[in-house]
Amino acid sequence: MTPPTAIILLNDSGRETADKLLTLYPDALIHGLSGRVDDADVTFQQTAAHLQELFRAGTPILGICASAILIRCLAPALNNKLVEPPVVAVADDGSNIVPLLGGHHGANDLARDIADALQGHAAVTTASDVHFNIALDDPPAGLAIANPQHMKAFMAAMLSGETVKLHGTNEWLGASNLPFDEAGALSIHVTTKSVAGNATTLVYHPKSLALGVGCERGAEPDELLSLVTQTLRTQGLSPLSVGCITSIDLKS
């Protein structure tokens, strides 16, 4: 479960903006610097240490401060961008909102939503958003990417002018500005089947399969898991396409 969003206040000059963010995200908590911020949900004394702790715990961070403060404080904690939480810098007056980290893990969307609410400007700079109006490594709920490790090479090829052949259909992809072409050197597959991806092929699995299971009383979990895995493999289906697991309680 994702921890509550942390609204970082280093002084009370950003209090009005913080209160507006609380209206937008009522489950968020205000984290205030001790001695400088009054009436905070959480207080801290060491800004860098506190931010790093939040970041490592996967906490979305909205810092009402200069971007440079967040960058310098979080630099030692940066590691795997595939799992980093969103970090967004918000100007004291809400005029500018900058997604710094986790752009495709929610930061870009947060920045846009905040900009709309505060009538500010979202400074989104990730190439896929700017050029293609989509974050390919951040698919919507109900769609899973099978080979995120190939995203960087795939994006580089698109930005260099390569076009994309689409296999299957999806509303999210269709609403983008991706350079689709039947003769594209790159390809995107939307399928429940187990398809191998690579640097020129991205594979997305819609969570459209319902997995029905049943067993005798006292059956070993590992045995059931093995049967499920084998069945999916035999049918050539991806586990990532399993949207729900169903059963019937007949032994209660």
pLDDT digits (tens, 9 = 90+) for 150-201: 999 999 999 999 999 999 999 999 999 999 999 999 999 999 999 999 999 9
Binning pLDDT at 50, 70 and 90, where does residue 247 land? confident
pLDDT band at 144 (very low <50, low <70, confident <90, very high): very high
Q: Is 108 helix (H, G, I), strand (E, B) or coil?
A: helix
Please compute the mean of the pLDDT values over residues 130-158 and round it to a whole number: 92
Q: Which of 63-77, 164-178, 193-207, 208-222 has the lowest mean pLDDT?
A: 208-222
Look at the pTM and tell me if it is higher than 0.75.
no
State whether 120 and 202 are in the same domain: no
User: Are 105 and 21 members of one domain?
Assistant: yes
> In total, how many domains does the chain have?
3
* 66 and 92 inside one domain: yes
For residues 73 and 118, state if they share a domain.
yes
CA distance linking residue 206 with residue 242, whole number of Å:
8
Residue 135 reports pLDDT greater than 70 = yes
User: 77-102, pLDDT tens digit by residue?
Assistant: 998 877 899 999 999 999 999 999 99
- High-pLDDT (> 70) share of the chain, %: 99
**pLDDT at position 218:** 79
Mean pLDDT across the stretch 204-227?
A: 89
Mean residue pLDDT across the chain: 93
Look at residue 250 and tell me whether its pLDDT is greater than 80. Answer: no
pLDDT band for 57, please (50, 70, 90 cuts): very high
3-state secondary structure of 181: coil
Q: Domain of residue 98: give its range.
A: 6-125
Residues 145 and 203: beta-carbon distance below 8 Å: yes
Rounded CA-CA distance 216/218 in Å is: 6
| Same-domain check for residues 89 and 195 | no
1 is a domain residue: no
Which long-range contacts (C-beta less than 8 Å, at least 24 apart) are formed by 155-160?
A: 155/127, 155/128, 157/185, 157/186, 157/199, 157/200, 158/131, 158/132, 158/186, 159/127, 159/131
DSSP line for 2-67: PPPPEEEESSGGGHHHHHHHHHH-TT-EEEEETTT-SS-SEEES-HHHHHHHHHHTT--EEEES-H
Sequence-separated (6 or more) residues with CB below 8 Å from residue 56: 77
Name, in order, each residue with C-beta under 8 angstroms of 179's C-beta and a sequence gap of 6 or more: 132, 158, 162, 163, 164
Q: What is the pLDDT of residue 54?
A: 98
CA angle 222, 226, 229 (to 5 degrees): 135
Q: What is the pLDDT of residue 164?
A: 97
The residue-averaged pLDDT of 24-30 equals: 97
Last residue of a domain, one of 103, 125, 147: 125
| More confidently predicted of 125 and 5 | 5
What integer pLDDT is reported at residue 252 of this predicted model?
53
Q: How far is CA 74 from the centre of its chain?
A: 19
For 184, the 3-state DSSP assignment is coil
**pLDDT of 130 higher than 70:** yes
Same domain, residue pair 77 and 172: no
- More confident position, 190 or 249: 190
Distance from C-alpha of 134 to C-alpha of 129, rounded to nearest angstrom: 5
80 domain-assigned: yes
